[in-house]
């Protein structure tokens, strides 16, 4: 029996979230983005635009896996682009992505950029 071909095609979507140290004062782990059910992160990065003081590292994940997209903690002490790891994991439901810091920051700013596909969505049909 042949594999039934899926004619649906998806366009990638992106989330861009700017943040500063003063928005990270309430807790060491905070929601930074929300993705739909079926989302599969293709790639992304955290751009440190102003070096952090106090906090030195960050993890990005979700409630089930705090470091899903950062198997190695991201360095917040230096400015620049910090690559995330695409895992191929498909979110089963709407999910908040969580940024976890190692300490409360006293300075710093950054931007999270993620590109993802939504499994099961069909923006147009091929074939």
Q: Is 52 exposed, middle or buried (0-12, 13-18, 19+ CB in 10 A)?
A: buried
**How is residue 103 annotated by DSSP?**
S
The answer to whether residue 78 sits within a structural domain is yes
Q: Is the pTM above the cut of 0.85?
A: yes
| Count of domains observed in the chain | 1
A 10 A CB-CB count for 5 gives: 7
Judge whether 77 lies within some domain. Answer: yes
Looking up residue 12, the CATH number of its domain turns out to be: 2.60.120.1390
Per-residue model confidence as pLDDT tens digits over 57-93? 999 999 999 999 999 999 999 999 999 999 999 999 9
Residue 2 within any structural domain of the chain: no
**Structural domain boundaries, residue 71:** 8-119
Give the pLDDT band (50/70/90) at residue 127: low
């Amino acid at each position: 029996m042949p594999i039934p071909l899926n004619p649906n095609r998806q366009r990638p979507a992106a989330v861009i979230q700017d943040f500063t140290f003063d928005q990270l004062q309430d807790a060491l782990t905070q929601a930074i983005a929300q993705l739909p059910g079926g989302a599969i992160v293709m790639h992304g990065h955290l751009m440190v635009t102003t070096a952090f003081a106090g906090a030195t590292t960050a993890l990005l994940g979700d409630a089930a896996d705090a470091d899903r997209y950062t198997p190695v903690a991201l360095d917040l002490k230096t400015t620049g682009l910090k690559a995330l790891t695409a895992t191929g994991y498909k979110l089963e439901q709407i999910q908040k992505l969580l940024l976890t810091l190692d300490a409360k920051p006293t300075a710093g700013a950054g931007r999270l950029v993620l590109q993802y596909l939504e499994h099961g969505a069909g923006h147009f049909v091929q074939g």
